[in-house]
Amino acid sequence: MGSKLISLFLLFLPLLTVTILSGAEEAFASDKTVLLVNGHNSTAGSGDGGMSSLRGKKQRRASGCNLFQGRWVFDASYPFYDSSTCPFIDGEFDCLKFGRPDKQFLKYSWQPESCAIPRFDGAAFLRKYRGKRIMFVGDSLSLNMWESLGCMIHASVPNAKTTFTKRTPLSSLTFQEYGVTLNLYRTPYIVDIAKERVGRVLNLGAIDGGADVWKNTDVLVFNSWHWWTHKGQSQGWDYIRDGSSLVRDMNRLDAFYKGLSTWARWVDQNVDTTKTRVFFQGISPTHYEGREWNEPRKSCSGQMQPLGGSSYPSGQPPAAGVVSKVLSSMKKPVFLLDITTLSQLRKDAHPSSYGGDGGTDCSHWCLPGLPDTWNQLLYAALSM
């Protein structure tokens, strides 16, 4: 059943004694606010209850249904929207715009083994969350999911007046008549990167950079892992601070565990889960290594259909085990959106060479596409 959540004002970032950086994705957007009326752009100034149905430290089941165990089936009613009519999609996700010739990847729906999930209804979502704020916190996979949800809602109410603001680190999309705001807070590691004398320092024990902004939001969806594996020029830090130790590098899974444990303590100590629903978006997989699905010479390039069945040949990535371990230790209820396996099956759903930058992207996902299913599962979890 739907929850009645309490809407509170977004708090401003505090002044810090050290400069907190937004991480390796610092330059993802310029400050811009766009007022969208009937789908056309015009420049504007920048500018409890009922929580018990989905309690659980690492809950994946709702009303006896495991939403995340199932298979992909062909569905002619998909996709939820046309990318050419959604004003919120970044070019890196707009695969059809950049020439992807096949469209069958748009025509698959996720079918859990033991139940049916409700089809997303954007108008009903807006009515249910009137005056509420939903925030995605994390890296570019959070951006993928945030833009997807905006497009899904927009398709249901295409004439709704919206305000769309892209900033670093906080962006927002507001459906004005309903007072519903979708926020994105970009922080690829969740824990802080501080500028110190030695350079950029990833502090595994600090989470001050954006934490005040996250408080008192009605729905929080966290995500991290994608950037923890980056090395060389794409690495977002120069040193790691682990307690009193300052090191050049360490085992990335160990670092992720320590950083995520800091996040878990923050949630336990700071989030009132009678007012705020907390989700963790499971590990989003990549498809660069075909040996994972028994095609050793291939990647996501040229893939046109999902894997069959309900399991992935190489199993879940180790980072998924870290997430499970951390969530199981928490005192507050956090719902795991366990999208890893169902996403592993979608080797066909990446931008590959159709992301507009000339490279091969087997990390992110086309829109429309897989993140729409993530949001449908979020919708199901919020509704059951």
287 is catalytic: no
**The one catalytic residue among 3, 83, 109, 140:** 140
d(CA 361, CA 98): 13
d(CA 109, CA 369): 10
238 is catalytic: no
- Under 8 Å between Cβ of 328 and 55: no
Residue 152's Cβ-count burial label (10 Å; 0-12, 13-18, 19+) is buried
**The one catalytic residue among 154, 226, 287, 364:** 364
- Under 8 Å between Cβ of 236 and 189: yes
Residues 6+ apart with CB under 8 A from 272: none
- Under 8 Å between Cβ of 103 and 152: no
Instruction: State both tokens at 372.
Output: 């729409």
Angle, vertex CA 82, rays to CA 81 and CA 85, nearest 5: 110
Region of residue 87 (left: phi > 0; alpha: psi -120 to 50; beta: else) = alpha
d(CA 13, CA 2): 31
Instruction: State both tokens at 232.
Output: 């060389």
d(CA 196, CA 264): 25
Which helix (H) or strand (E) element contains residue 372? helix 370-383
| Backbone CA torsion sign across 17, 22, 27, 33 | negative
Half-sphere exposure for 269 (CA within 13 Å, toward CB): 9
254 is catalytic: no
d(CA 80, CA 217): 27
- Under 8 Å between Cβ of 96 and 83: yes
Closest CA to 339 of 190, 191, 173, 142: 142
**The one catalytic residue among 192, 361, 372, 383:** 361
82 CA to centre of own chain: 21
Q: Which residues are catalytic?
A: 140, 361, 364
